[in-house]
Amino acid sequence: MPAVITANLPVFLIILPLIAAFILPTIARRQRLQENLLLVVGSLGLLGAGYLVYLVMHGGISSVYQMGGWPAPWGIELQVDNLASFFLLVVALIILPVFLYSRRNMAEEVGSREKVARFYVLILLLIGALAGMALTNDLFNVYVLVEVATISCVGLVSSRNHPLSAEAAFRYLILATFGSALILGGIGFIYIITGHLNMGFAAQELVQVWQYRPHVVWMALIFLLAGFGIKAALFPLHLWLPDAHFIAPTPASALLSGLAVKGYLICLFKFFYRVAGPFLLQELAIDKIMKWAGLLGIVLASLMAIRQDELKRRLAFSTVAQIGYLFLGASLMNTRGLSGTFFYLASHAVIKSALFLSAGMMISVTGKKKVSQLAGIGKKMPVTTAVFTIASLGLVGVPLFSGFVGKWYLLLGALDSGDFLSALVIIAGSVLCAAYLFPVVRLAYFEPAEIKEAQDPGIPQKLALVFLAVLVVLLGVMPGIVLELANRAALDLLTP
């Protein structure tokens, strides 16, 4: 790539979807042109994220990008490191198939072609916010970008042409606003005691002053944990998620579960590891709170998922359970545990996007929302059901699928810490996951067909589903670059 693009690549990845969001309303009546613009944005984003990963891993780009040339602590910094490039790659890998899936497939779900354009604008704003959340090294800019992402997500939930969409979006908005207030309070506490908004400067100062104001630091970290816990649907702060994911249009459900909640987790990890550091997390027992929240989430949310007969609601509770794995892994405080957390984050993003897109297609084609009504769907929609099955095997953690690699490293991390209870819950979580996903597969393939007319979707939707299914297998068989990048990101955060 030209030197100018390479030098400014981090900013390009943030502003590309934002510029597209500005342009898209001007072509609101040109559906094909809108869809082509989205594919261009998705393709350029994947190319740029992949090239950024290459540059980061080979030292070909500066680790700090100064906005406007103003150095910290006065200017705003973008931190171009392993964690940022890792999450940008995850975002790019999910966005492209979601855009493919949406082609000529959204008017029925959102109500009209004009509303489709608004729906796409919200997705583009969410992508730009997620890219900024991955790269920013400024505390207040994290808050601003989190708010942009939250408002976009609320808009995506409300965009469904359904009588309950406004109610689900309003509940989401109220709880997310409370979470935002807690996040802003946590940032305020850190700023008061350190005098800095730059993460690097705040971390240096916090090491010096925390002993004089330990209660303030503890309050700041608890506020951040609770605020981001609400937004990321950490059990029992997940009350908004089941209705939001169930009601939202299918691509929005995939993005909410696959990317949005992960963006909030990336921000939380930055605060906890980059600003506070592992020592303070252990000294103030924040790691124990994360551990028990994760353990309870894995078990109790899985039990709730088993009880759900509506397919998308079952997948929504599954997301709450899988978020528990990520908090549990982050609490282990060792390299294998944290690298397993990051790899599982990427794996879950791909798997849950595949599950929601395939489930949404089954529901759209058949009109059946309940698991018990989908008997024999495997014979009518073989490609869609095969993708759902592959993603289910990945989420359970069957070897040769991506979920196994992440859970294996989480298990090794728990054993490295001597935490046998966590290791047991990681295994039990896989059994419970099988208990709520495998019955869907059994009904689809081994029960008499109750659905008379159904068929697989068009070529763009098939390509999107197959792309995600192939990723689930590739990440399980050849984790390679993604696992190395996750390991490097973990080492960066754990090294003072």
Q: What is the pTM of this model?
A: 0.90
Q: Can you give the pLDDT at residue 379?
A: 81
d(CA 252, CA 120): 10
Lookup result for tokens 């171009």: 80
Average pLDDT of the chain is 86
The percent of residues in the chain predicted with pLDDT above 90, rounded, is: 32
d(CA 130, CA 139): 15
Residue 51 identity (one-letter amino acid): Y
Looking at 121-125, 160-164, 203-207, 353-357, which range is the least confident one? 160-164
Whether the bond between 214 and the residue before it is cis, its omega within 30 degrees of 0, is no
Q: Can you give the pLDDT at residue 228?
A: 92
Query: Which whole number is the average pLDDT over 424-449?
Result: 88
Looking at 233-247, 311-325, 384-398, which range is the least confident one? 233-247
Residue 276 confidence class, pLDDT cut points 50, 70, 90: confident
Please say if the pLDDT value at position 1 is more than 60: no
- Report whether 469 contacts 390 (CB < 8 A): yes
Q: Can you give the pLDDT at residue 60?
A: 63
451 C-beta neighbours (distance < 10 Å), count: 18
HEC secondary structure over the chain:
CCHHHHHCHHHHHHHHHHHHHHHHHHHCCCHHHHHHHHHHHHHHHHHHHHHHHHHHHCCCCCCEEEHHHCCCCCCCEEECCHHHHHHHHHHHHHHHHHHHHHCCCCHHHHCCHHHHHHHHHHHHHHHHHHHHHHHECEHHHHHHHHHHHHHHHHHHHHCCCCCCHHHHHHHHHHHHHHHHHHHHHHHHHHHHHHCCCEHHHHHHHHHHHCCCCHHHHHHHHHHHHHHHHHHHCCCCCCCCHHHHHHHCCHHHHHHHHHHHHHHHHHHHHHHHHHHHCHHHHHHCCHHHHHHHHHHHHHHHHHHHHHHCCEHHHHHHHHHHHHHHHHHHHHHCCCHHHHHHHHHHHHHHHHHHHHHHHHHHHHHHHHCCCEHHHCCCHHHHCHHHHHHHHHHHHHHHCCCCCHHHHHHHHHHHHHHHCCCHHHHHHHHHHHHHHHHHHHHHHHHHHHCCCCCCCCCCCCHHHHHHHHHHHHHHHHHHHCCHHHHHHHHHHHHHHHCC
Q: Can you give the pLDDT at residue 2?
A: 62
Please say if the pLDDT value at position 107 is more than 80: no
- Beta-bridge partners for 202: none
Q: Chain-centre distance of CA 376, in angstroms?
A: 31
Q: Can you give the pLDDT at residue 292?
A: 92
Q: Can you give the pLDDT at residue 417?
A: 85
Residue 495 confidence class, pLDDT cut points 50, 70, 90: confident
58 C-beta neighbours (distance < 10 Å), count: 8
Could you report the per-residue pLDDT of 40-90, keeping only the tens digit for each? 888 888 898 888 888 888 776 667 777 766 777 777 888 888 898 899 999
Please say if the pLDDT value at position 112 is more than 80: no
Residue 470 confidence class, pLDDT cut points 50, 70, 90: very high
Q: Can you give the pLDDT at residue 62?
A: 62
Could you report the per-residue pLDDT of 201-258, keeping only the tens digit for each? 888 888 888 788 888 889 989 999 999 999 988 888 887 888 887 888 888 888 888 8
Residue 380 confidence class, pLDDT cut points 50, 70, 90: confident
The percent of residues in the chain predicted with pLDDT above 70, rounded, is: 96
Q: Can you give the pLDDT at residue 111?
A: 67
Please say if the pLDDT value at position 330 is more than 80: yes
Residue 431 confidence class, pLDDT cut points 50, 70, 90: very high
d(CA 321, CA 351): 14
Please say if the pLDDT value at position 15 is more than 80: yes
